[in-house]
Structure formats: C-alpha cells, structure tokens
Structure 1
C-alpha cells in the first residue's frame, strides 16, 4: 500500500458491452451523441465508463458534468475535477509557462471555475480509481496515472512507465488484468507483459488527426475496439465562440488539429 488514501470504488462484475470514454471537456454536443449511441446499442448506465476531465475547454461545463454523473455508472476524477474542487487557478496539466496550452488555459479554466462553484463538493468526492470485472478479467479505471493523475502516457511511452503505474495500481487493488485510462487525448491499446493498457481517447476534442470526429471505445468479450464519434462539432465550436472561448480549441473542433503540438512527444508530431 502507498499510504495515500485513494478513493476507490468496486463495481463488481459487468456483463455485455462496456462503453469506455474520456475527456468530455464540457463538449455537450459530443456527449449527447455518445449517449445516443449507448442507448441505440442497449449499453446500460452501469456499463458506461468515463476516465475523467468532464469539465475543460468547451462551453457547457455544468450540463456536461451533470449528465455524465447521471448517465454513467463508473466515473473517476480527472485532474480538471481535482483542480476545480481545490479552487486552484489552473488545470494542473503541467503546461509550460507561456506555451499555447498555458495561455489558452488562462481563459477556459476561469470560465469553467466560475460555473462549477456549486459542484466543488461533488467533485471533491469523486473516485480516484474504480475497478470492475468483465469476461473473467479485472480492470482498473484511472485518469492519467495513479502515481500522478496528470501523467502523460503516450502510445510511444516506454514500457517502464506503464509498468510503474501498473505496480502502483496493484499495490492498492491486488492483481489486475488491464487498465483503462485517459488524459493524453489519444486512443490506443498496449500490451505490457500480461497486462492490457487501454486508453479510450477523449470525446471532447479530436485526436489531432485532421478530422473533427472524436473517439471512444467498446470493451467486448473478444477485446476492445475503437470507434469514431461523429457529432455536431460546428455547434459546439459556435457555442465556444459565443462564450468568448476563442484561444484555439474552438478552431480545433472544426479542423481536427490541436492548437499546439508542444505537449506531444516528438515522434507523434506532424512532419512538415
């Protein structure tokens, strides 16, 4: 045990398809589209898993937050929820001072904080980690890392970084078969020894691929599959612009490109 008093929820055994997603980012249009898919496919509330950062860049933090908590059975806190609950002055992502992301956060974070004051107690009580069993395998749900909620683990990160987090998780939970995480914004899966690491991606922003569709994943009996999420991105971008959230993320919803690639490892940046 680490000695840290993590909030952990055990959700027992889940049956059938499990919806995995992260980073709604206050993007209500994307969340509505995802929930419609869940309803169409008959995925029950208990089988909908959110890896946090419900509230971030976009224009509708309150309704997005309420709907995720109401419509999803497994939700862990992201660094944004932790920072908002603590009445901090930034999102806690560790952006370099003066970077594009840092400058943008000076607008969207105060916007979100002003609208989430009445939800701070709720955010403070959110889980740090969840656990469930599916198809005979035991999964932990976290945001970035357990050792550091804002830790960026990319598809190209060394196996040792994933191994550190898996060890930290198993010190709290005992043996697991897989980890479901978020935070970095890119969907991917990776085998780390006998463990399956799944990052479901985020629904609130595109994965910097030049297309406005975002991403989610489905855990099914045979493994995991990643899917595109088409939604009314133009409406979400217009809502951001009307709210004065025009520091680059509004354009990202239309272009499918992040306002900056500063946070990305060099090998994941575009070659121009």
Structure 2
C-alpha cells in the first residue's frame, strides 16, 4: 500500500516534538500551553502518532488536537481505528499482560470516538518530512516500513538504518516505544522525543517531549520533562473499562511490566531518564 507522506518543505524556528498522547487530555492541555509560551505555532508542533490510547478521554483528546491544528502522523492505533480493526496493532505477544490490557483500553477508545474524530484520524498521514538547519528529516511512528516496530536506544543500528532510505534523510524522528532517547551514527541521528500520555518507566509521573532549535544556525535539540495534572488523569482512568495497572503507572511512573523492553531498557526501570 502506498504511504501518505506530508511534505512540509523548509521550516525554521523552534519545533515542538512529542508522541503518544494516549487519550491523556490533561497532558495535551499542558503541552499546548508550553507551545504557546514558547511561541511555537501549531504547524511546527509535530506528534509521532498514537493520539488515542490507554487513558480515559479519547474523544476529548482528538477534538482538542484537531482544534489546536498541530501536525501528526498515524500511529498503529490510528491505523487500526481507521480500518475498524478489533485490536490496537501493537503486535504484543498473544497472552501477554500488554495484550490483555489492550483488550480493555482499545475497545473502550473505539466506543468513545465520534464519526468526526474517526474522520480526522483517517486523514492523518503515515509520515511527515521537512528540511531543518540543512538536515533532511523524516517522522515515523515505529520505523518507515513497520508502524508497529519497537525501536529503542539499544536497538542495533542495522535495524534503524533502513528508515533513513540510504542518504535521503539525515534525521529520523521516531515514536511508539514510549521512551525518549537519541542515537547518533555516522552523522545520522535517530531522535525519539518521548511520549506525553504515559511516564517513561523512570519513577516520575512527569512525561517527555523535545524541542528543535535552529537559532544558532545549527540543528540542535533538547528533551524536556512535562509536569501536568496527572492525578486527574489517574482519577478518570479508575473505571471498570480501563486497566487499573495503567492508572497506577500514571502516578508512580513505573510500568506494570517490561515485557516489550530490551534487557538494557528493562534494567533502567525506576532510575530516571538520562539522555546522552
């Protein structure tokens, strides 16, 4: 199937990068305020996908995203919702805890979304490209070829390299894995800004995003943690339709399990995020 790619062309000024809103309306509201404080217009606010997910307000979150008019690519959740699929498309191991949890939150989200929200979700491109500070940038969810592929800091570069399409792109901005990181190799950069809908398994309820900055005529970026009203998010998630374990993670900053994580990332659980 041909991929839908939105080309933004040459852009400059600060660019806000984030992913995994996961139906977390309170986090999205807080991030939108950051964008306004930093004078970053909506067209330079880019999400790596999964606007919908684990939390309690999928419809409200999609509608706020639509009103904000920020950019996004389709995560696996958007792809599945657009196709009317019965699962989230994360390719969790059948019978795993994550698979069991997805059988709760995905149908909940699916049942809450209006036709208008589903139409908006279906309009989102698979990828975004742009030129920034003399670098060609590609935005993916998992990888270029596989929306559901988990790419982590410790993932071998051989698995990351194909997304750069040879020398076509200098920077890949990725999502899906839930953890912020950077990885450089031979003048190529894989940058994951993190997600705002769930903590980064670091023992803090804060969530993560990144900002690109070309004010010094170079391609520079910085990761930031975001404090938001996570207690309200937690309270709203405490209903019979959503996993209590995910509601607990919102407060503790610790994932219920590390079954999707490579050994290195699993061993860092609760030790805070260190991006080097």
When normalised by structure 1's length, the TM-score is 0.92
Q: Secondary structure at the match of 1:157?
A: coil
Check the 8 A contact 1:212/1:253 in 2, yes or no.
yes
Alignment of 1:73-88 (within 5 A): 73-88=70-85
| 2:126 alignment counterpart | 128
Check the 8 A contact 2:73/2:125 in 1, yes or no.
yes
Check the 8 A contact 1:56/1:112 in 2, yes or no.
yes
- CA offsets 1:154-202 (integer angstroms, 9 cap, x no match): 00000100112222xx6xxx72221111000000111132221111110
| 2:108 alignment counterpart | 111
Q: Is the deviation greater in 125-134 or in 197-206?
A: 125-134
- After superposition, the Cα gap between the structure-2 partners of 1:230 and 1:211, relative to the gap in structure 1 and judged at 3 Å, is same
CA distance in 2, matches of 1:120, 1:204: 19
| 2:194 alignment counterpart | 201
Alignment of 1:18-37 (within 5 A): 18-37=15-34
Q: Secondary structure at the match of 1:164?
A: helix
Q: Secondary structure at the match of 1:108?
A: helix
CA distance in 2, matches of 1:110, 1:33: 26
- CA offsets 1:217-242 (integer angstroms, 9 cap, x no match): 00112411000000010100101114
Check the 8 A contact 1:21/1:217 in 2, yes or no.
yes
| 2:206 alignment counterpart | 213
Runs ≥4 residues deviating over 4 A: none
CA distance in 2, matches of 1:19, 1:164: 25
**Structure 1 unaligned regions, length at least 5:** none
When normalised by structure 2's length, the TM-score is 0.91
The CA deviation at 1:74 is 2.2
CA distance in 1, matches of 2:243, 2:176: 22
| 2:256 alignment counterpart | 259
| 2:138 alignment counterpart | 140
Q: Secondary structure at the match of 1:126?
A: coil
| 2:155 alignment counterpart | 157
**Structure 2 unaligned regions, length at least 5:** 270-276
| 1:166 alignment counterpart | 164
CA distance in 1, matches of 2:135, 2:163: 18
Q: Secondary structure at the match of 2:267?
A: coil
- CA offsets 1:115-168 (integer angstroms, 9 cap, x no match): 12513333222100111112222211111111100000100000100112222x
Q: 2:86 aligns with which of 84, 89, 99?
A: 89
Q: Secondary structure at the match of 1:268?
A: helix
- The alignment covers a number of residue pairs equal to 264
Q: Is the deviation greater in 117-126 or in 35-44?
A: 117-126
Indicate the RMSD between aligned Cα atoms, in angstroms: 1.6
- CA offsets 1:52-108 (integer angstroms, 9 cap, x no match): 000000001012112223324421000000011111111111111121111111110
The CA deviation at 1:243 is 6.0
| 1:61 alignment counterpart | 58
CA distance in 2, matches of 1:57, 1:139: 29
| 2:238 alignment counterpart | 241
